[in-house]
């Protein structure tokens, strides 16, 4: 008997036998080094995952002889390997994503964790699993979400990023960037008279013609419906617009006869008309509207078209006082378990009742608040009021099933005191953190992933739920999902709207749900408006839903009566 260990020799041998069996059959690759980094042992799974024999493996060091690449496709320097960092830093490294190239040219994506031991002749233990399928799914989502399914051109989201890159380059080289917003004239009539099959053929043909006309550094994108964008650095935008009109008007022979398309083009230029990509595209769109009045022509943006901008400025000024004046209001939309159709949470949403204009859509005033740096104040107001409402319901004996989801903007998330301020609000309202769910967009956490990890971990420690909102419309990254350990993915409603009719949207939704299932995350589909959508989501394995089919956003009192069982107030006698 070894009294210091508390087990006898026979039991120790049995334990070693069991551990060796696990070591030999587990589908996780395991590599062990000595304190100097020489590989001294590896298990059978490592041969498959690394594409080399045990003998080749044991002849290497942990930092030499490997072809390892980062997520961006660049070679990863050895000092960044999880194994090297664990040994040099003396701390555990978890879930590092890397691509390992095999000697035969194949590659595998591994999630690598490494832990320093530094005793009994062991330096570091490295464990790695194959996550290639998850990486492929993540990239498929990004591809589908950032490109138009019909033409395979970049969509608006990706276009905005590409034009921003053109502008950054133009600033360095003192160049102009012209954005041409193109709208095909009377295209709805073509769809209605010749059918959508012919319409789709013409859209694909137009996309191909624009790609052929565009230069190697130009951006060609398709927006919704029959709208395209061509952005080009340098050159004469007027000449380019005339070339576009000529190319678009090239006759097309169809089974129903010859078709000649025309287009309306709006032109805006950086730096004359706009200071960033979003403004450039917006002004090109405004100019296109002017061309649409006459058709088959191009128009340049000018200050006279900026009345919309002036209206936006007036709205921004009014928004400054909306918090103090009580013009901002909260509404609550129920969320439901798709299997039982019972309420399992709610999302708090912000509404603005303007004294003169009435109700203003969040899609109109939220971008203004973001641009003016107001979202921290607005977000804290929402959180404070939402927590207070939960407390008020509790005093009435009303309990919300599940959590109340509160959206957090990138500005609010980036505030250095965000954690403390949120904790203070929750404490002051006397509600439990477990009753709340923080909703974040991918953009909020992607700016500074290291800080984001710390912030989200703090909220997890408090007991709050974490949801990634609008998943699929940004640069969805598997690394973020694994690193931030969110609990739920909210599938953007734009995919749900067309998923019954369009296979491409259905594929995106199915891929997101499948990836979430693999990662152990819950899924909630937003914007569910029809029974067909709900049935298809149930078939795909989505767990929760939110949308007009199940419940509209309503004021707190109405929500309590309809969903929390609050008795209706009696009319006075």
pLDDT in tens, the chain (573 residues): 444 456 677 777 777 878 787 888 788 999 999 999 999 999 999 999 999 999 988 988 888 889 999 988 899 999 999 999 999 999 999 999 999 999 888 999 999 999 999 888 899 999 999 999 999 988 888 888 899 989 999 999 999 999 999 999 999 999 999 999 999 998 988 887 788 889 999 999 999 999 999 999 999 999 988 999 999 998 899 999 999 999 999 999 887 788 999 999 999 999 999 999 999 999 999 899 889 878 899 999 987 776 766 777 788 888 888 877 888 999 999 999 999 999 999 999 999 999 888 998 888 888 888 878 889 999 999 999 999 999 999 999 999 999 999 999 989 999 999 999 999 999 999 999 999 999 998 778 877 788 888 999 999 999 999 999 877 655 455 666 777 778 999 998 989 998 999 898 899 999 999 999 988 999 999 999 999 999 999 999 999 999 999 999 999 999 999 999 877 655 444
Q: Identify the bridge partners of residue 110 per DSSP, sorted by sequence position.
A: 98, 130
Q: Structural domains in the chain?
A: 9-130 (3.30.450.20), 149-301 (3.30.70.270), 322-563 (3.20.20.450)
Q: What is the CA radius of gyration of the chain?
A: 29
For tokens 């995919």, the residue is 495
pLDDT of residue 1: 40
DSSP for residue 43: -
Question: For the chain, how many residues are written?
Answer: 573
Question: Is residue 555 within 8 Å of 563, Cβ to Cβ?
Answer: no
Q: What pLDDT score does 308 carry?
A: 66
User: For residue 87, which phi and psi values (nearest 5 degrees)?
Assistant: -75, -40
Three-state DSSP class for residue 128: strand
Asked if 488 and 437 count as a contact pair (C-beta separation under 8 A), the reply is yes
Q: Which of 238, 224, 246, 247 minimizes the C-alpha distance to 266? A: 238
Half-sphere exposure of 431 (CA within 13 A, CB side): 28
Retrieve residue 112's tokens.
């690598």
Distance CA 519, CA 95 (A): 13
């Amino acid at each position: 008997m070894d009294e210091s260990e508390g087990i006898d020799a026979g039991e120790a041998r049995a334990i070693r036998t069991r551990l060796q069996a696990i070591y030999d059959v587990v589908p996780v690759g395991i590599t062990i080094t000595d304190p100097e980094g020489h590989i001294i042992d590896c298990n059978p799974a490592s041969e498959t995952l690394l594409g080399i024999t045990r003998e080749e493996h044991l002849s290497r060091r942990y930092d030499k002889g490997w072809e390892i690449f980062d997520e961006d496709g660049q070679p990863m320097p050895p000092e960044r390997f999880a194994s090297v960092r664990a040994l040099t830093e003396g701390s555990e490294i978890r879930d590092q994503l890397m691509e390992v190239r095999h000697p035969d040219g194949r590659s595998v994506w591994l999630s690598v964790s490494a832990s320093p031991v530094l005793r009994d002749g062991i330096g570091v233990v490295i464990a790695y699993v194959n996550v290639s399928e998850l990486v492929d799914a993540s990239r498929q989502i990004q591809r589908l979400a950032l490109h138009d399914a019909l033409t395979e051109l970049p969509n608006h989201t990706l276009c905005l990023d590409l034009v921003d890159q053109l502008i950054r380059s133009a600033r360095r080289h003192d160049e102009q960037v012209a954005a041409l917003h193109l709208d095909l004239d009377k295209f709805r009539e073509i769809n209605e008279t010749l059918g959508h099959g012919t319409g789709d053929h013409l859209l694909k043909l137009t996309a191909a013609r624009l790609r052929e006309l565009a230069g190697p550094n130009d951006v060609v994108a398709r927006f919704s419906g029959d709208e395209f964008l061509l952005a080009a650095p340098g050159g004469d935008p007027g000449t380019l617009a005339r070339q576009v009109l000529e190319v678009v008007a090239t006759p097309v022979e169809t089974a129903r006869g010859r078709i000649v398309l025309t287009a309306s083009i709006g032109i805006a230029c950086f730096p004359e008309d706009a200071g960033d990509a979003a403004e450039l595209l917006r002004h090109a769109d405004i100019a296109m509207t002017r061309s649409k009045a006459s058709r088959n022509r191009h128009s340049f943006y000018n200050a006279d078209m900026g009345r919309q901008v002036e209206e936006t400025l007036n709205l921004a000024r009014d928004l400054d006082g909306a918090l103090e004046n009580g013009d901002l209001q909260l509404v609550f939309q129920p969320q439901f378990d798709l299997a039982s159709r019972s309420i399992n949470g709610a999302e708090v949403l912000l509404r603005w009742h303007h004294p003169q204009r009435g109700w203003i859509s969040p899609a109109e005033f939220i971008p203004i608040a973001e641009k003016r740096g107001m979202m921290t104040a607005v977000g804290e107001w929402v959180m404070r009021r939402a927590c207070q409402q939960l407390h008020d319901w509790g005093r009435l004996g009303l309990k919300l099933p599940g959590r109340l989801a509160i959206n957090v903007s990138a500005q609010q998330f980036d505030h250095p005191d965000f954690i403390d301020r949120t904790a203070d609000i929750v404490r002051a309202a006397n509600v439990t953190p477990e009753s709340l769910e923080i909703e974040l967009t991918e953009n909020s956490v992607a700016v500074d992933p290291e800080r984001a990890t710390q912030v989200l971990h703090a909220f997890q420690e408090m007991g709050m739920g974490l949801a990634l909102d609008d998943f699929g419309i940004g640069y969805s990254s598997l690394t973020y999902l694994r690193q931030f350990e969110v609990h739920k993915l909210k599938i953007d409603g734009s995919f749900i709207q067309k998923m019954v009719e369009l296979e491409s949207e259905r594929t995106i939704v199915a891929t997101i749900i499948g990836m979430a299932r693999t990662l152990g995350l819950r899924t909630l589909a937003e914007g569910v408006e029809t029974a067909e959508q709900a049935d298809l989501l149930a078939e795909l394995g989505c767990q929760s839903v939110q949308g007009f089919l199940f419940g509209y956003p309503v004021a707190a009192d109405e929500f309590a009566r309809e969903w929390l069982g609050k008795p209706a107030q009696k009319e006075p006698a």
